[in-house]
Structure 1
Amino acid sequence: MASPCNPQYFQNQSLSLWLLALVFTLTWCFSVSESHAQIQLTGEVGGNVTIHCPYDKHRTIQFFYFQKGDIFVNGYYDSRNIRETGIWNNTRVDHGKATVHMTNLNISHIGTYKCHIMYKNSASPSDTDIHLSLTAKYSKPEVTTSCFDGFGCHITCSSHGGYPYTKVTWSEPMNELMKDEISSANPDPHTMTFNSSSSAYFNCSNGELNFSCSVGQVTSDMLAICTPKDPPEFNHYNHYAIAIAISAVVVFSIMVASLVWWQYKKGKTGVASVDVRQEWKADGYDEEAAKLSEQNEGEQAS
């Protein structure tokens, strides 16, 4: 009777039946399988990764079975793919090799996988553990500030879409003046990546401060806080308006003064004219009286 670990055991079975038998017998065969040291592999969220399971290139692979824990991922038997429900649609295997191509990676793909390889004319399979780790770059940190005149500033630095969780760090000058820092990590329920933020209060007693914040390898722009307030900007238009207003006031004042002076002069001239007229009238009366007196004397003499 053929051993269940012998590849000849599978050759006369139909595709739908041999996969069930394969999974069943692998459980027993792996207890006596050859093992290799675990391989560490790193990918990036949203990217692709190619997993090369170690195998003997001088031997012919009978079947290749790739799984995560107890979950079948993909594989092939002889020259045929194993087309059963549950195969990951984002994976593809190379026939004749122990290679798996995995695309569109997300956080759920992190974990330990196992490569099972059975060679022809072999009594036991060879298996290797591969641990897949993923990272995601954080966005460029955004900084918001709220300052209180001459006292201090409340600053928040935040970044999103990263993995694994990484704490916000502040540039060196800020660490010495930081008060009441609060850090938080909020996982995105859809992508399972993290939003990292930090809020802190900084004292302005030492004057202007230039700082930046970082999350992982990503750093914000350099910013300044506690800067002295600039004096009000000189407005040339206001200057011209003020000059025109002053000039108008001066001209108006001169006009009023001239009018008052003219009225004053006019008043004095009128009084003088009255006096002259009165004097002329007095002189006229005297002449008239003299004439009358002369006439009276003439009449008396005659």
Structure 2
Amino acid sequence: MDWTGLELGMAQTRFLHLDFLLLFSALACLVSGETQVARVNEPATFSCDYNIPKKEMASYRVYWQNAERVVQAYVPGKKIEELIDPSYVNRTTAIDLSNNLSVTILSLQVPDEGTYECIVQKLVGGQYKRVHKLDVKLSIRADFSDPNIHEEGFFFSCWRITCSSSKGYPQPKLFWLKDGKELTSFNTTTFQDPTTRLYNIDSELCVNQTNDFSLTCLIKYGDFQVSTNVTLKRDIPFRRTLQPPIIASIVISICFFFIALILYLKRYHCQCPTWLVFRMS
């Protein structure tokens, strides 16, 4: 057996394995990142996880960018204001060179959601080469208002109820729960403001119920939720005040109809003959 060849093959395998690990580690250093969830109108700070030696500051360039938009930059000898995208002017802090090249975005808005890249370049042999890259995914959250449940009325054994909530993000889903069991709404609408991109949601429900019952309006958005619980009672005031006017209006309408019908028949079908009118005169 050729032990020399076997040992040489094993050594090559170990070196290949070591090279693969080094390459994998290098790639991981370039593309590893984190995910952050931040609220609308609050700040968010991103860390690049990289430090530049003070003596070599002039040989480095740093860019924080979102897609093709430059959020903040460090470029010795250039005016940073000329590099930053207009949508981020006066909304970001300067890159903190002493703290992992971190940057802070002030007063977050929904359009700020996305992936942010930190790119570090070093001047080597007269050319800038990338030596570090980090991705940070930002998810925006805006809390919905507490759902407002409103009792519209009691119509023909149907309890009509509405629920609404506003100014939230991401896109919501609304659920009706009666005594813990999900109900089906007959009209749910979602509206997104074209400027702020915040959502409003409204829903209507019709419940065939004559006894007291508990009702919940639940709104889920992303990993968060908000809800309102109410107990609807059979003898609530609006049912006592709402039904009599409806009944009265129906009765009055029927009376007017019959009066009009009688007048019509009396005028066109019960007139006396002309010769009889002349004789009586």
CA distance in 2, matches of 1:161, 1:58: 45
Residue ranges of structure 2 left out of the alignment (5+ in a row):
1-26, 241-281
Q: Which residue in the other structure is 1:236 paired with?
A: none
User: Conserved in 2, the CA contact under 8 Å of 1:34 and 1:124?
Assistant: no
CA distance in 2, matches of 1:229, 1:188: 36
**Is 1:170 paired with 2:165?**
no
User: Conserved in 1, the CA contact under 8 Å of 2:161 and 2:205?
Assistant: yes
Find the partner of 2:215 among 200, 211, 214: 211
Q: Quote the sequence identity (%).
A: 23
**Is 1:116 paired with 2:119?**
yes
CA distance in 2, matches of 1:226, 1:204: 10
Aligned residue for 1:35, secondary structure, equals helix
1:1-302 map, 5 Å: 35-56=30-51, 60=56, 62-78=60-76, 82-84=80-82, 86-87=84-85, 88-89=88-89, 90-92=91-93, 93-96=95-98, 97-119=100-122, 123-148=129-154, 151-173=157-179, 175=181, 178=183, 180-205=185-210, 207-216=211-220, 217-220=225-228, 222-228=229-235
CA shift, 1:139, in A, is: 0.5
CA distance in 2, matches of 1:204, 1:33: 60
CA distance in 1, matches of 2:226, 2:29: 44
Cα distance change on mapping 1:171 and 1:58 into 2, 3 Å: farther
Give the number of the structure whose alpha-carbon radius of gyration is greater.
Answer: 1
CA shift, 1:194, in A, is: 0.3
Cα distance change on mapping 1:63 and 1:224 into 2, 3 Å: same
User: Conserved in 1, the CA contact under 8 Å of 2:176 and 2:185?
Assistant: no
Cα distance change on mapping 1:193 and 1:160 into 2, 3 Å: same
User: Conserved in 2, the CA contact under 8 Å of 1:184 and 1:196?
Assistant: yes
Residue ranges of structure 1 left out of the alignment (5+ in a row):
1-31, 233-302
CA distance in 2, matches of 1:229, 1:101: 53
Cα distance change on mapping 1:41 and 1:149 into 2, 3 Å: closer
User: Conserved in 2, the CA contact under 8 Å of 1:138 and 1:218?
Assistant: yes
Letter of the aligned partner of 2:199 in structure 1? F
User: Conserved in 1, the CA contact under 8 Å of 2:166 and 2:199?
Assistant: yes
Q: Given the two structures, how large is their TM-score scaled by the length of structure 1?
A: 0.57
RMSD across aligned positions (CA) = 3.1
Q: Which residue in the other structure is 1:292 paired with?
A: none
CA distance in 2, matches of 1:200, 1:147: 11
